[in-house]
Chains A and B, each alone.
Chain A
């Protein structure tokens, strides 16, 4: 079928993929972050299109509101990151390209293969309540394990970023005078 929904889909998909390409290729990290914003928004739009309202809202709240802002802050706070010429030497361009293209080919082929389990009728209903219920019943364990995971991530982040005790010198990473 061709209808407005399809048009919107292709527009959103183009937005997502196009911005993602910019994220990967732009040399300036701030521009890249901005391009990432469009990618996230595009994905959120795709969620809306398949009537995953909760996911779409979360996508915007968490990724755009949280993670992207975090990235921006990180970029702003780490002074010198924009002035230092960051250049990673690239080796093995050809083999890497070959592997990536192969992988892309395989995934593209599988993506167009007609094996997806399709839901016949699409019902546009709010999903939030249902998700909440499932998280408390069928998916209780993953929900709880995820909280353990977050706890671990929190401890780890605190540990890595906490300033060292002053009595331990940091020989490799002294501030330039």
Chain B
């Protein structure tokens, strides 16, 4: 038989399109090997190496720019959108590593595997965000999920950790199954898994109307909905978030959401605009349900991690509002919000992590009592992150929400905007509740003593705070980049 002919030039372009991913995977393997070579005292080097790798990867994204590089015969593409999400995901990963410098020391997660798994998961997210073939998207999803399942259960001695991991694993496996079945059904009708090709096929009304295709799209949507925790597919979220080591929770809340939304945006905006009338009604309902259930459940939580978990569900709903709008403004708003959300939510988790003495009990909301005055810097930072999550100006959270809701209004989804804004108002109650505990409640016993943050940890918090404030006041350049990213998608 004929030997396989390889086009060297095409292969080079292909490799070019995944340089950041290659760097991340290489760093993961390097960290794993380095773990064997160094002594117990020097384990912090692992974290440093990881950070270095992320830095290089970020630089490579910058060097690649926003130009369109297709690779591997249309399996993956590095475009504006891919670059944007690479930056979001890598930033979240970098923040995780910066915070892990402290966390690992307290909770004993200074292990090569820990860092290596985070990096592998990161690479999966990046593949997912850049995948232009449903197969790449699926494999990226799995590559991001499996390390996260393990990381959630990292504390094998904590029941909550194991419970969270098991629940997440079982439901996550189901979700993957749904997604895969959806892809299979779509393939059965169209004969392709390539997102751009799908887009052209869907001009055919016979395909659009076929029940097989509708079922496939529905299953696909369910799979994504699990990953971004849309109601009613959100059941795992609070348990997994509560059980996971807090750095991992922070990482999950920001990065997994970004990656899954990236793929969802690509699928919805590129492949499925033809399904507007039906699909958009479903998304509308999901957004309303997600915002409302997330916020109402968060109102009654007393565990800070669970509270932030429900708040993260609600935020998935807000971001979905941008997708329901379904135009460039909406996509741009979603992108901007995902970026901002990564920083503000991880910042909030970071502060909470310092305040909580240990996992589980440490995250009772009463533990925040009196923190505000005893530790003004921590109090101010957490307040800043919370008001940003609540969407109060002049923070980046406000600009993001404003964009999301204005996109909804612009496209005639007035009620969606009204419901979203009301939800946002309700959410302020529980964010402020944490603030009330910090500043207005006198603690029953004595004020909790937060752990002294390491320099790198403080850097992570400060960087998040700077992003939240700066993007709140001068969001212009990032908004423009987000707009270009969405436009690059629709080209």
Contact = CB atoms under 8 A, between A and B. Distances in A.
Asked if the two chains touch in their complex, CB atoms less than 8 Å apart, one says: yes
Interface of A: 106-107, 109-110, 113, 115-117, 129, 133, 136-142, 145-146, 148-149, 151-153, 155-156, 158-160, 164, 168-173
A85 B25 CA distance: 44
B431 interface: no
B109 to A, nearest CB: 11
Nearest to B165: A160
A148 B212 contact: no
A116 B188 contact: yes
Interface stretch (B142-150, B271-279, B362-370, B378-386): B142-150
Q: What's the dominant secondary structure at chain A's contact region?
A: helix
**Which of A109, A115, A139 has the most C-beta atoms of chain B within 10 angstroms of its own C-beta?**
A115
Contacts of A146: 139
Given A141-B71, A164-B156, A152 B4 contact: no
Given A142-B139, A149-B143, A137 B6 contact: yes
Given A110-B211, A172-B157, A141 B146 contact: no
B157 A152 contact: no
Interface stretch (B115-123, B330-338, B481-489): B115-123
Interface residues of B, number: 54
A152 B143 contact: yes
27 contacts: A107-B215, A113-B211, A115-B210, A117-B191, A133-B4, A137-B4, A138-B73, A138-B75, A139-B135, A140-B72, A141-B75, A141-B76, A145-B124, A145-B136, A148-B124, A148-B143, A149-B124, A151-B29, A152-B146, A153-B146, A155-B32, A155-B120, A156-B117, A160-B150, A164-B157, A172-B157, A172-B159
**Which of A116, A137, A156, A169 has the most C-beta atoms of chain B within 10 angstroms of its own C-beta?**
A156
Contacts of B97: none
Given A136-B4, A151-B120, A145 B143 contact: yes
A159 B149 CA distance: 12
Contacts of A107: 215
A148 B143 CA distance: 7
A149 to B, nearest CB: 4
Nearest to A157: B150
| 6 tightest A-B CB contacts, nearest first | A156-B150, A115-B210, A141-B72, A110-B215, A152-B120, A141-B75
A141 B143 contact: no
A152 B121 CA distance: 8
A117 B142 contact: no
Given A152-B117, A155-B32, A172-B159, A113 B210 contact: yes
A156 B149 CA distance: 9
